Structure 1
Amino acid sequence: MELLAFIPSPAKGEIVPFGIPLRGYAFCIIIGVFVAVWLGGRRWIARGGRAGTVADIAVWAVPFGLVGGRLYHVITDYELYFSEGRNPVDALKIWEGGLGIWGAIALGALGAWIGCRRRGIPLPAYADAVAPGIAFAQAIGRWGNWFNQELYGRATDLPWALEITRTDGGRVPGTYHPTFLYESLWCIGVALLVIWADRRFKLGHGRAFALYVAAYCAGRGWIEYMRVDDVQMNDVLGLRLNVWTSILVFALAVAYMVVSAKLRPGREEVVEPGDPAEDGASSDAKSDESGSDSDSESDSASGSGAASKSVDKG
């Protein structure tokens, strides 16, 4: 059957913005990080935090996340790098693709914890602020798989089928379900869900982040089940390892939301401690400015500056 339409794959896995060659996979990861930090920063400020805090902590979280994501991928797909005929050095070539979200979240959380401790802020509050941004970042990052012609599903002749043209890495040219696209769209839905639920129910103490994790896992499970590419072909009891991981992490995230809602209902009142000296100086300045205006107006009206000051301060 002749296809009416399909999604073509890039002939090369790189783009050349401003005349500078850049791997498409890396470009998508970078754009995703910027979006996550930008949105996370806006949400953090809206919760009472300070501008720049999310970016400062991201300096710790992002490198840890990249290392964790790569480690998870290499460990669970070790045969791609350490089996006969493979080059172990390829395990370091992160720009060629291969980041496991579970490892990225785990070590990224460790990096964020370090950054939060240095700033004296609670990690759950920070996680809630950045949760939808992470989902958007994943949605953008999945297009890096498109550049690398990876993360595709079973063969299909649907109009939105993905065309695979490469023959390396066990690929067979043809048209397949674009599971990278399915996951990208699912992540956008997850981000919007978290934003809506957070506004509607005032989620706090890490529950917005747990909702993101649970919702993402619900989609990742069925999307992973569709995949037929050469990644993660080591099945466990008939299911891919990532499917089992999705089930386990989903259960843990839901359990956390239930227990946390009972033990610590509501949302944090203070997410970032202020600088007493800075806050005090700012308050004094505002008080002096308003006090001088009130004094002058009161003095002109009643001629009693001292009485006016006592009334203003009350």
Structure 2
Amino acid sequence: MKESILVSFPNMNLEFNISSEAFRIFNKSIYWYGIIIALAMCVCVIWAIKDSKKFDLVPDTVIDLMLFAAPISIIFARLYYVIFRWEDYSSNLLEIFNIRNGGLAIYGGIIGAVITAYFVARYKKIPTFKFFDFAIPYVPLGQAIGRWGNFFNQEAFGTNTSLPWGMKSSVTKAYLQNNMDAIQQLHGITVNPDLPVHPTFLYESILDLAIFVFLMWMRRKKKFDGEVFCFYFITYSLGRAFIEGLRTDSLMLGNMRVSQFLSVVLVIAFGIYIVYKRIKLNNESLELEYTGKSVYAGILKEIEEEEKLEAEKKTSSLFGNEHNEVDNDLEKNIVSDDNEVIDQPIENQKNENDE
């Protein structure tokens, strides 16, 4: 079994031993890094299955996603790391397949996961962005857990710090001693191997946990499909850009930190997309409101016209009845007068005869 590593937080008076190796099976080392990554995946799958019914998804969809996403994400994470650290593997290509000691780049893993989720959504005939919004919150949850694998490997740490949680270990000391000149040349930073360093893995673990909570809330409040997906990349990239500036083991492209550059690109791209979608939705809402008012006004106008027409009919009917009554009275009077005229000569005739 590997020797234990003495880790200390001098300003907090904490000191303990850890080992990157958990145990052995058939004389093969099983590392904490791999165990923690596997644990992170299991937690995400269980949580996602529990939530799947709320989003009209069957649990089998979540299982299928993980079965494909897990290996593909690991492959992409490794390829991403190897591409930017090619000098470490060019002379020993078989070492590319040895991931037990770490060497996975999270951005590569995310790219692999997104590609896998896209094809799963298409195959299952699920709206792509709706599926992304469901699945993306579990990514930072997995990251928050997985970062503790970096702790057991004593990697992904930063520059010197005097903050209370500054960390020291034999591994950080050896790394800084061996890479002082490279760090100075690439980053313009002078490091002291004997002083505590930023535990940047811990910073990112806390950041990822906060993003997970935010996205779970955002998933219920989103304005459009794909918004949660966009906010993951914006929030994570902003935090990662800051944390990456503290690290001493960044993947580099010339004099540029790859993760910082990619973070800036993602923030700009997804930020523009969210603004565009929000403006579009707002315009559609105003148009719908205007259309609704126009329709409502039209309905009111029709009702008013119908009421006016009905009133005219009633008025016409009323005057018609009065006219008929007048005509009837006139007819009665005429008939009465006629009768009197006809009757009068007869009476006169009778009188004359009597005489």
| TM surpasses 0.5 | yes
Residue 91 of structure 2 corresponds to residue 74 of structure 1:
no
Tell whether the 8 Å contact from 1:197 to 1:203 is kept in structure 2 after alignment: no
Name 2:69's counterpart in structure 1: 61
Name 1:196's counterpart in structure 2: 217
Q: After superposing the two structures, state which structure 1 stretch, 39-48 or 14-23, moved more.
A: 14-23
Name 1:23's counterpart in structure 2: 31
Deviations 1:191-250 (A, max 9, x none): 111112222x23542211111111000100000000113x425453xx412111110011
Residue 110 of structure 2 corresponds to residue 93 of structure 1:
no
Residue 139 of structure 2 corresponds to residue 134 of structure 1:
yes
Name 2:169's counterpart in structure 1: 164
Structure-1 separation of matches of 2:53 and 2:24? 32
Tell whether the 8 Å contact from 2:10 to 2:167 is kept in structure 1 after alignment: no
Structure-1 separation of matches of 2:20 and 2:38? 15
Q: CA 1:25–1:37 in structure 2 vs 1: closer, same or farther (change >3 Å)?
A: same
1:97 aligned counterpart, secondary structure = coil
Equivalent position to 1:206, from 213, 221, 226: 226
Q: CA 1:119–1:147 in structure 2 vs 1: closer, same or farther (change >3 Å)?
A: same
TM normalised by structure 1 equals: 0.73
Of structures 1 and 2, the one with the larger relative CO (CA 8 A, separation 6+) is 1
Structure-2 separation of matches of 1:17 and 1:107? 30
Deviations 1:149-194 (A, max 9, x none): 1111111233311223123694656521000000000001111111
Output aligned runs, 1:99-114, within 5 Å. 99-114=104-119
Structure-2 separation of matches of 1:217 and 1:196? 19
Output aligned runs, 1:270-285, within 5 Å. none
Tell whether the 8 Å contact from 2:140 to 2:211 is kept in structure 1 after alignment: yes
Tell whether the 8 Å contact from 1:8 to 1:162 is kept in structure 2 after alignment: no
Structure with the greater alpha carbon radius of gyration: 2
Name 1:304's counterpart in structure 2: none
Residue 277 of structure 2 corresponds to residue 257 of structure 1:
no
Q: CA 1:194–1:149 in structure 2 vs 1: closer, same or farther (change >3 Å)?
A: same
Structure-2 separation of matches of 1:95 and 1:257? 39
Tell whether the 8 Å contact from 2:136 to 2:228 is kept in structure 1 after alignment: yes
Output aligned runs, 1:9-20, within 5 Å. 11-16=18-23
1:39: Cα distance to partner?
2.4
2:267 aligned counterpart, secondary structure = helix
Tell whether the 8 Å contact from 1:164 to 1:176 is kept in structure 2 after alignment: no
Tell whether the 8 Å contact from 1:15 to 1:24 is kept in structure 2 after alignment: yes
TM normalised by structure 2 equals: 0.65
2:89 aligned counterpart, secondary structure = helix
Mind listing any 5+ residue stretches in structure 1 that lack a counterpart?
A: 266-314
Report the RMSD for the aligned CA atoms in angstroms: 2.7
Equivalent position to 1:147, from 148, 152, 155: 152
Equivalent position to 1:3, from 7, 10, 23: 10
Q: After superposing the two structures, state which structure 1 stretch, 171-180 or 30-39, moved more.
A: 171-180
1:139: Cα distance to partner?
0.6
Tell whether the 8 Å contact from 1:25 to 1:147 is kept in structure 2 after alignment: yes
Name 1:120's counterpart in structure 2: 125
